[in-house]
Structure 1
Amino acid sequence: MSVLELGDASRTIAGVVLLTIVTIEFGGYFMTKIVRGQVPMTDFQKAFARAGHAHAGVLVTLSLICLVLADATGLGGFFGWVARVGVPLAAILMSAGFFAASAGRGRTEPNGAIAVLWLGAASLAAGTLTLGIGLLTA
């Protein structure tokens, strides 16, 4: 398989990831309502909404790149799956963590759902470390 060909698992994951972009677009529309003052939020909530939206977009883009790189490593089994799903899972968990941690009327600091953000950070670290080591040892 050449670097430009995707295996079945990576192709399926890439298809699902691309479909999630519609939700990121909806989030962008919602962000325009926030900045126009149409959604009442505290400064803290606005900052977390921006961070959640930005992390979703950046990590979804990174996850597509990681799928191509994961196939180039030849990693299989458990480590192959960590390399392929670590970053897309981080996109979901980190964004959800930002949004959920700031949910609630007038909130000025994160609630307990901030733990979801840290699970996403762990998923991002696991995925990128596995992929990086896989690339260096391929």
Structure 2
Amino acid sequence: MSAPVLLVAGIVLLTVVGIAYGGSFLLRVVDGGFPVNDLQRSYFRAGHAHAGVLVILGLVVAILTDQPTVPGWGAPLGLLVLLAAVLMPAGFFLSVVGRDPAKPNGFRLLIGAGAASLVVGLVGAGIALILAGAGLG
């Protein structure tokens, strides 16, 4: 693996500590130790789940697209999956901050931005890997 991908992988692995802390926060929410409304509870769960899954998916995509036969544009597009791992959970968490919000605030736009980043990253990385596998990279 290249040095930049090793650096990104190391940073990503360290973020899992933050996700684990988020899991302990979520347990306090579910156990009633942190007062939230139903909207907040749902968004906190969604944010935590998306963070965990997208960080692992992003790490796998980064490793796959760092292969020498993959076109050079594949790796940067693949990193958009890791960007989605930041944007989507941030949107879920930040859009329901405050005392007992009745609906999500403007930070909800980060969820859509993260979804767009995820789709572009996966499609780009997928095409790059197919081309590499077909010997066209």
Normalised to the residue count of structure 1, the TM-score between the two structures is: 0.89
Specify the SS of the correspondent of 1:113. Answer: helix
CA distance in 1 between counterparts of 2:22 and 2:104 reads 20
Aligned 8 A contact 2:74 2:129 in 1? no
Aligned 8 A contact 1:10 1:67 in 2? yes
* CA shift for structure 1 position 79: 4.3
What amino acid maps onto 1:36 in structure 2?
Answer: D
CA distance in 1 between counterparts of 2:33 and 2:113 reads 31
1:99 alignment partner in structure 2: 93
1:1-138 alignment to 2 at 5 Å? 6-72=1-67, 74-76=70-72, 78-83=73-78, 85-138=79-132
CA distance in 1 between counterparts of 2:125 and 2:34 reads 40
Change (3 A) 1:95 1:112: same
CA distance in 1 between counterparts of 2:127 and 2:59 reads 18
Structure 1 residue ranges without an equivalent (≥5) = 1-5
CA distance in 2 between counterparts of 1:79 and 1:54 reads 26
* CA shift for structure 1 position 56: 0.3
2:135 alignment partner in structure 1: none
CA distance in 2 between counterparts of 1:130 and 1:32 reads 36
CA distance in 2 between counterparts of 1:16 and 1:88 reads 11
**Greater mean alpha carbon deviation, residues 22-31 or residues 104-113:** 104-113
Aligned 8 A contact 1:56 1:92 in 2? yes
Aligned 8 A contact 1:43 1:108 in 2? no
Aligned 8 A contact 1:45 1:108 in 2? no
- The number of aligned residues is 131
Structure 2 residue ranges without an equivalent (≥5) = 133-137
1:3 alignment partner in structure 2: none
CA distance in 2 between counterparts of 1:123 and 1:19 reads 22
Percent of matched pairs sharing the same residue:
44
Normalised to the residue count of structure 2, the TM-score between the two structures is: 0.90
Taking only aligned residues, the RMSD between alpha carbons, in angstroms, comes to: 1.2
CA distance in 2 between counterparts of 1:43 and 1:50 reads 11
